[in-house]
Chain A
């Protein structure tokens, strides 16, 4: 929606006929003028970007409140509380460690004694990626009633989604710490790259999630497809087994947006070195434009989606 917001000097109670008439110095409260027109928001990209930035700034307080509300509400009615945040990666890791130690797979042999922490780190990062990918669609879906009834900075809903992804990532990282100590992994300078890679991974996944969101809001097929594809995708992302020697020769590995950043971060943390630095660098750099593109798509699509799905 092109809602052109500009601050107009027209006095509240003046008799000026032109909207850009003479400012009344006695009237300190400048009037905000909003216009709603059928024009595409992309007609004026500079205006659009300014609005997105403004909305993100305006929406911070709201996003924080909704985030706190969600977190409080989420765990107030549970007995185990935050445990539910780190159950999925723990359970998944336990399964693969069990399969390996009972001889069903030989993954543990290939990795060595660090197999558990290798899988667990991968799972934590993978969960962050999937959370980020689903966050835009889930957040908009959960708040669609509010979107159709209330006017507020639309970006704040997306921000809540991102906060939640980061919060969960943070909680799971804390769980990771005792395991890291147990396996004798001590802090190294190279580990500073890990949180940066994790943030880039979240940025990338949220950006991609924003691109999927409009289609997902109109047709449930998108959400269903994601549910079906997620476990297969996880296997293809080489979380539970070491990537093959010729990883770089397979274009599928390059095309998998989850793979390079995740493998790089995990290898750095667990093994102290990684052969995925180049691929991860490329994805780290394109994560930013993809995220920004996602923001624009989100902003432009929301009013149209609200019309179609509200009633």
Chain B
């Protein structure tokens, strides 16, 4: 039995203009067309200097679904979220929302530093749509959740930013909405509280809450999200399982980075291309524990004796994870025109789910003999298996071989 969607987004677009003067002029025109009632017809057409910040996006979200809205900066995520929250009006299409809508675009908006925490809970709660009685009923829950019972009658001015965040989330978390929109707000705060927030969100999702969350902290999202929508260049490029979407998002991040390709002036050789595959069907979708096969094409103009290649793996979040050189295993080779393909194999890939790059640098025999490098090199995705990152399995980027055993403490040792 399928449930009716809580959100229906149909062919929704939003225009944007970067030039301030022009944007204000368009604002005046929009006001006029709004007042003459002709707004609907012309809204879908671009004017000079405008572009679609969100371009024809369509999707549905049902109760109990927890959707990560992913995408590089400027992809249109926040604009889309603001349209869902009813803050911006779509320029084309239609958004239908069934049920009580809660949106956390920014926590603690409307906190007045001079007032006490208690007073601010009431102001903030009312702002988010709770009645006085509802807030009174939940007040204790809110202070308990925020762990601020001791200081609730102190002015908010005296709170640290983490305390303000806790108070803001605690109020918002007790809204009991049917649809919750969250924008980046969980990126801050201490780990313990963050876990508490995620656990709370998971409970709400179990009860049938639909959640759309925008965040760049993908590794945190896989705790709660069961679906992902990826935006790139203002369009929706993926809608499906969370892990695949997350890997695609990381890949987009890598691709959006500027290429550093700086062959040495001597021009004796250059790295032509790098390919990464699983060594089975040539796909760049890999699995933790399986083999990685990298192929590095080197074009050569003059012979290079005793060349060296250094390979290093990089994650868009973790930076360089590690690297190794051909010399490590005393693998020695010479380059002759027209060139060669160097093949590297890692039989038991220790990387966990995510997107990575295999970067390559080429050197001659001497330490200072630099020839070329590709940074970032070839992008690949580890698409499974999904790690259980709720402190119940493994998490992060690297799988560590390990073993456990337990020994009893001896009393005489003390």
Contacts and interface: CB of A to CB of B under 8 A. Distances in A.
Interface residues of B, number: 60
Contacts of A61: 126, 131-132
A152 B127 contact: yes
Nearest to B78: A311
B112 A301 contact: no
B329 to A, nearest CB: 54
Contacts of B114: 72-73, 76-77
Interface stretch (A30-38, A180-188, A230-238): A30-38
Contact of B128 (A40, A152, A310): A152
Interface residues of A, number: 54
Contacts, number: 162
A43 B37 CA distance: 6
Interface string B63-95: 100000000000000000011011111111111
Interface string B116-139: 000100110011110110000000
A150 B83 contact: no
A175 interface: no
B91 A38 contact: yes
Contacts of B101: 34, 151
B33 interface: yes
Nearest to B129: A152
A189 to B, nearest CB: 40
Interface stretch (B23-31, B231-239, B348-356): B23-31
Given A19-B4, A69-B119, A73-B112, A151 B87 contact: yes
A32 B88 contact: no
B96 interface: yes
Contacts of B105: 149-150
A37 B208 CA distance: 26
B27 A146 contact: no
Interface in B1-51: 1-4, 23-24, 26-28, 30-31, 33-40, 43-44
A201 B119 CA distance: 33
A32 B179 CA distance: 12
A14 interface: yes
B199 to A, nearest CB: 24
B40 A39 contact: yes
B261 interface: no
A225 interface: no
B40 A303 contact: no
A35 B94 contact: yes
A218 B127 contact: no
A149 B127 contact: no
Interface of A: 1, 3, 8, 10, 12-16, 19, 31-43, 61-62, 65-66, 69, 72-73, 76-77, 145-152, 214-215, 218-219, 297, 300-301, 303-308, 310
